[in-house]
Homo-oligomer: A and B are copies of this chain.
């Protein structure tokens, strides 16, 4: 479904969101341990999230990553768009370059329906919400 980059990125940003909600700043080292991901690779992913302004990075001792207040409202759809592009929202299930209601692939109509559900779900799920679930021990990020 999602690339490894995207999986790590989602886990990382959700973890940072949770920690931010508890007023903690977290280092790459901590992140990769807590979400069980390869550290150097996760660093690259975090760089992308930083460049795209979804997380804020702080260099030097006592540095790390946080999410700024207003960015806690970021939707998963946005994180995924940054890391995997929007093929998942727009691409044809059978890989046709052009495929739409006018000239649909055999799966098109069945597909758009499910994809819309997916998109709606991702567009209505914010980091804030997921951080709360995590804080309430309703979910886990590891294993």
Q: Are A4 and B143 in contact (CB under 8 A)?
A: no
A106 to B7, CA, bound (A): 12
Q: Are A11 and B143 in contact (CB under 8 A)?
A: no
Contact with B along A1-17 (1 / 0, CB 8 A): 11010011011001000
Could you write out 24 A-B pairs with CB less than 8 Å apart? Answer: A1-B1, A1-B88, A2-B94, A2-B95, A7-B94, A8-B95, A11-B95, A14-B106, A94-B141, A96-B141, A96-B142, A99-B143, A103-B143, A104-B138, A105-B141, A106-B133, A106-B141, A107-B130, A108-B139, A110-B121, A110-B125, A113-B117, A114-B114, A114-B118
A residues adjacent to B (C-beta < 8 A): 1-2, 4, 7-8, 10-11, 14, 76, 88, 91, 93-99, 103-108, 110, 113-114, 117-118, 121, 125, 130, 133-134, 138-143
Q: Are B8 and A103 in contact (CB under 8 A)?
A: no
A2 to B113, CA, bound (A): 17
For A142, the chain B residues whose CB sits under 8 A away are: 96
For A98, the chain B residues whose CB sits under 8 A away are: 143
A140 to B97, CA, bound (A): 12
For A14, the chain B residues whose CB sits under 8 A away are: 106
Closest 9 CB pairs of A and B: A7-B95, A106-B130, A106-B139, A98-B143, A110-B121, A114-B118, A103-B140, A114-B117, A11-B94
